C-alpha cells in the first residue's frame, strides 16, 4: 500500500488553531479534536471529491437512515511521532481492509483506497503538530461512515458520508481493571454483525456494562451467545489468557472482531518464542486455572488501550484475583509493540508506514 498522494482534495484551512489551548499532559481520551476534518460524500452511485475543512458540526435530515436503521461503521487507528519528528502509521492497510469488510456487511459502499489512505495522509500532514513525541503520546484517528440519505423506509440508504476526525490521546484506561464474565448478555451472535466494526455493536454493550460498573467492575468478558461457555472478547477489546506459560486467545469468527493489535501481538509472541494457542477457551478452564494457580495473566488488546492488564474476574458471584507475576507477557508484548510503533526498535514485519 502506497501513501503517495495522487488524490485531488479541496482544502479549506482553519483561520485559527486551538492547539495552544490544549493541555496535552492531561487529555481525556476522545474528548479533544484537531482543527480539521475530512469529509467525502457518496451520492448518485459515486464518491464525490473529498474536502478537508475546519472541524465543525454539520446538518443532516432528521430522517437520515443512520438515525433510524443504524448504518454506521468506524475504525480506530493511531499516528505516532518519532524522535526525528517524522509521523508514522501502524498497519493502515489492515484498517482500510477491515473498514470495507464492515461496509459490505452493512450494505454500504466500499471506500476507495485513495480516498481513505491519501485522505488520511493529507489531513495528517496538515495536523502533524498535533502528534506529540514521546512514548504514550499519539494522535487517535477515527475514520467513519454514516448513512445520510433521507426517508424512513426500511432499506439501505443511497447516500453516505465518509469522514476522518483526529484526537490527541494518551492512555485509554487508567487504574486497575476488573471484569465480570457474561452469563446472560452477548456481544454478538452467529450470522450477526460481530465481525464488523459497526456502531450498533458498541451501543448494545452499554447496558450490560453499566450493570457491571454498578457491581464494581470496569468491563465484561463476553461469552458465546449459544452456551455462554466460551470466552470471546473483553469489553471493546480482544482478550488473551496466560495459563502457565502458554498464551491463549479465541479465533476470529462472525462474533469476534479481527483486531489489528490482536494479530500483531500473536506475531510478536511467536517471534519472542512464547507458546501461543489460538483456540476457544472455556469459562470452566479459566475458573479451574484460577483455582489451581496456573492462571497467570489476563489482558485486553486493542488500538485505544494497546494492552490492558486485568487484575481480577468474577463468575457466578465469586471473584478471582490474578497474581502479580514477574516477566509479565502483557508488559513484554506491550513494550515490543510500542517500540515498533514509535520507531524505537527495528520493524522486521514491515508494519509501520511513514506519512
pLDDT at position 1: 40
What CATH number does domain 10-170 carry, 3.30.470.10, 3.40.50.970, 3.40.50.300, 1.10.760.10? Answer: 3.30.470.10
- Helix (H) or strand (E) segment spanning residue 206: helix 199-214
pLDDT at position 304: 85
Below-70 pLDDT ranges, the chain: 1-6, 172-174
Cβ contacts of 164 within 8 Å, gap of 6 or more: 37, 38, 119, 120, 123, 141, 142, 143, 144
- Of 27, 3, 206, which Cα lies nearest the Cα of 119? 3
**Class of 177-341 in CATH:** alpha beta
> What is the C-alpha separation between 308 and 286, in angstroms, rounded?
18
pTM of the model: 0.94
> What is the C-alpha separation between 152 and 235, in angstroms, rounded?
32
pLDDT at position 3: 45
Cβ contacts of 34 within 8 Å, gap of 6 or more: 19, 55, 127, 130, 139, 165, 166, 167, 168
pLDDT at position 305: 84
Which residue ranges make up each domain of the chain?
Answer: 10-170, 177-341
pLDDT at position 7: 80
Amino acid at each position: 500500500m502506497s501513501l503517495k498522494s495522487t488524490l485531488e482534495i479541496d482544502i479549506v484551512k482553519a483561520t485559527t488553531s486551538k492547539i495552544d489551548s490544549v493541555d496535552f499532559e492531561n487529555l481525556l481520551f476522545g474528548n479533544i479534536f484537531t482543527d480539521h476534518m475530512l469529509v467525502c460524500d457518496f451520492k448518485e452511485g459515486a464518491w464525490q471529491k473529498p474536502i478537508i475543512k475546519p472541524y465543525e458540526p454539520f446538518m443532516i435530515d432528521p430522517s437520515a437512515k443512520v438515525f433510524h436503521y443504524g448504518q454506521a461503521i468506524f475504525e480506530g487507528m493511531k499516528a505516532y511521532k518519532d524522535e526525528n519528528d517524522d509521523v508514522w502509521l501502524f498497519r493502515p492497510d489492515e484498517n482500510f481492509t477491515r473498514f470495507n469488510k464492515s461496509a459490505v456487511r452493512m450494505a454500504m459502499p466500499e471506500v476507495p483506497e485513495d480516498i481513505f489512505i491519501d485522505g488520511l495522509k493529507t489531513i495528517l500532514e496538515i495536523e502533524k503538530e498535533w502528534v506529540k513525541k514521546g512514548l504514550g503520546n499519539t494522535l487517535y484517528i477515527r475514520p467513519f461512515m454514516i448513512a445520510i440519505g433521507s426517508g424512513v423506509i426500511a432499506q439501505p440508504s443511497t447516500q453516505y458520508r465518509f469522514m476522518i476526525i483526529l484526537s490527541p490521546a494518551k492512555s485509554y484506561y487508567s487504574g486497575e481493571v476488573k471484569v465480570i464474565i457474561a452469563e446472560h448478555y452477548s456481544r454478538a451472535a452467529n450470522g450477526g454483525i460481530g465481525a464488523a466494526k459497526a456502531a450498533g455493536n458498541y451501543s448494545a454493550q452499554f447496558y450490560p456494562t453499566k450493570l457491571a460498573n454498578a457491581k464494581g467492575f470496569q468491563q465484561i468478558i463476553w461469552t458465546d451467545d449459544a452456551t455462554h461457555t466460551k470466552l470471546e472478547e473483553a469489553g471493546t477489546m480482544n482478550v488473551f489468557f496466560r495459563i502457565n506459560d502458554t498464551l491463549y486467545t479465541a479465533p476470529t469468527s462472525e462474533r469476534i472482531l479481527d483486531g489489528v493489535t490482536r494479530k500483531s501481538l500473536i506475531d510478536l509472541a511467536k517471534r519472542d518464542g512464547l507458546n501461543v494457542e489460538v483456540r476457544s477457551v472455556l469459562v470452566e478452564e479459566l475458573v479451574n486455572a484460577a483455582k489451581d494457580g496456573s492462571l497467570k495473566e489476563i489482558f485486553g488488546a486493542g488500538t485505544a488501550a494497546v494492552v490492558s492488564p486485568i487484575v481480577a474476574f468474577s463468575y457466578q458471584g465469586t471473584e478471582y484475583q490474578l497474581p502479580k507475576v514477574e516477566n509479565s507477557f502483557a508488559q513484554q508484548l506491550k513494550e515490543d509493540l510500542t517500540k515498533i510503533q514509535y520507531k524505537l526498535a527495528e520493524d522486521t514485519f514491515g508494519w509501520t508506514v511513514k506519512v
